Chains A and B, each alone.
Chain A
């Protein structure tokens, strides 16, 4: 027996064969996660397979989160179809609109058994590695096959070891740490691979979800945190296991990080983009929509209102996170600061509802992707950062290092905010412009030559 990585251990145990990186394996799945935006294709897949029923009604988890509550009649109808399917299949675990993001609930409600294989219809299913499960995202047909058979096929991945050393400084978060890793590894640096996170097993569950979920942005098949409190004894990589790459992250030296549009791996220290004007700030998603993230924003806002040109959209990751934030006053503080608080779910992260971006708008988002068109208009720009960076952007209207704001006494805090607001550039952000788009639209509409008579039917 030679040494094994976590992926090799889990897939050997699941498949009942001694498998190594590069081998193909057929494995049972402990859960299948299905969400609203793929249900039509999943149902069509099962029908095409000639399978009427899911293989195990206790092991399927279904969520309405990607466009929820329904923003259009077409989506509403798709949700209706999904609910009827769940009832018809007698699926035990169903979370409807407003309950939260599938990944957050899968972890916080205990559906991710450590050391097992879980497949999900969403690419961020890697999040289940936060508690030691091999979670992998797949497409609708793969999900239909897993629902029908209770099994899936996988190529046993090579592994990349991410070793965190030292301690994060105040004002620097695990989002900064993982964004740094994504910048180092690149969007395809972990393609087909499993990322193992070493040195962080004792972190709170939410921070571990941030790490595992973001492994998707490196192309990884899975992203597993080593030595979590949930993990059984056997679930530990061997000391001399073989890795294709080792990435060491020195937390002591880490600055707040920002991913610059349109790439998640275009990562810089926040100082490199300080002063960039923003129109809208999104605090939410499976990456950073938890109580801890909302609290960090409230901590930095210190009871002040956000900048007048800026909108702040807050979408809690789950009802539990929302209710905890209600109970401790965090939601009230966010609302008083001027935030819009949306129903728990994916929110505008994928551009389907609730605060999507207009052309030329600049967003600072705590989510995980900044591709062109991701959150709405393809002309919009999305910067990815931590909740602290998001709070500064909401407060001042520009991207800036949050640490001076966190360290300042009350008086110098207000001076700092006023200074930053004054220095907000008059170009860049859509909200800094005066009338360009309005003039463009007015110019495009033919001028009426006959007087309009009210009471007559006017076409839309």
Chain B
């Protein structure tokens, strides 16, 4: 079981990690402590590994800052489920090995603080109000994710996954 952290539409990277707390402003070992510093001040101290972020449309919009995703990675976020994702945030999650899944119904089923289970094999997010359906990722992205990210994939295979 994991806790769901619920967000709305258009959650931008300045909310996930404000630019003034970038690793190069605060240090590589400290920046993650400022995750959701302005938007959800309790997040960084109470989040647990495996917790799932659930959002609406255009999750992760704004800057290209990968350290927003890196902060989530340090906290051990188990996955991000949203109606839709901003493109750079989506790539950054795949590259860093955080499951990133579109779901039309998850945001409506999940309330903040719910106990949820992210079942990647079944393609479901199980919630107290029923199971949300997760849209399958392209095989190319699945292969990178299952290797734990693009760096691990390239180290193991020397090149990108083959295109279909």
Q: Do A and B come from one complex?
A: yes
Q: Does B95 contact A (CB under 8 A)?
A: yes
B-side contacts of A352, CB under 8 Å = 19-20, 22, 25
Query: Which B residues, 18 to 38, have Cβ-Cβ distances below 8 Å to chain A?
Result: 18-20, 22-28, 38
Compute how far the CA of A351 lies from the CA of B63 in the bound complex, rounded to whole angstroms.
13
Q: Does B14 contact A (CB under 8 A)?
A: yes
Compute how far the CA of A67 lies from the CA of B26 in the bound complex, rounded to whole angstroms.
13
Compute how far the CA of A137 lies from the CA of B87 in the bound complex, rounded to whole angstroms.
9
The answer to whether A191 touches B84, judged by C-beta atoms less than 8 angstroms apart, is yes
> Within the complex, which residue of B58, B154, B164 is in contact with A191, where a contact is CB–CB below 8 Å?
B58
The answer to whether B92 touches A142, judged by C-beta atoms less than 8 angstroms apart, is yes
> Within the complex, which residue of B26, B61, B88, B150 is in contact with A188, where a contact is CB–CB below 8 Å?
B61
Q: Does A49 contact B (CB under 8 A)?
A: yes
Q: Does B67 contact A (CB under 8 A)?
A: yes
**Distance (Å) between the CB of A429 and the closest chain B CB?**
21
Query: Which B residues, 27 to 80, have Cβ-Cβ distances below 8 Å to chain A?
Result: 27-28, 38, 57-58, 61-67, 69-70
The answer to whether B86 touches A219, judged by C-beta atoms less than 8 angstroms apart, is yes
Contact code string A34-60 (vs B, CB < 8 Å = 1, else 0): 001111110001001110000000000
Interface range, A side: 35 or more
Nearest-neighbor residue (CB-CB) of A145 within chain B:
B150
The answer to whether A36 touches B24, judged by C-beta atoms less than 8 angstroms apart, is yes
The answer to whether A123 touches B88, judged by C-beta atoms less than 8 angstroms apart, is yes
Q: Does A24 contact B (CB under 8 A)?
A: yes
Q: Does B91 contact A (CB under 8 A)?
A: yes
- Among the stretches A71-79, A165-173, A386-394, the one at the interface with B is A71-79
**Distance (Å) between the CB of B55 and the closest chain A CB?**
12
Query: Which B residues, 100 to 156, have Cβ-Cβ distances below 8 Å to chain A?
Result: 138, 140, 149-151, 154-155
Q: Does B4 contact A (CB under 8 A)?
A: no
The answer to whether A153 touches B160, judged by C-beta atoms less than 8 angstroms apart, is yes
The answer to whether A74 touches B24, judged by C-beta atoms less than 8 angstroms apart, is yes
The answer to whether A24 touches B138, judged by C-beta atoms less than 8 angstroms apart, is yes
Nearest-neighbor residue (CB-CB) of A51 within chain B:
B154
Q: Does A16 contact B (CB under 8 A)?
A: no
B-side contacts of A263, CB under 8 Å = 10
Q: Does A360 contact B (CB under 8 A)?
A: no
Chain A CB within 10 Å — which of B27, B69, B149, B151 has the most? Answer: B151
Q: Does A99 contact B (CB under 8 A)?
A: no
Would you give 9 A-B contacts (Cβ < 8 Å), ordered by A? A24-B163, A41-B23, A75-B24, A140-B66, A142-B66, A188-B61, A263-B10, A350-B19, A376-B20
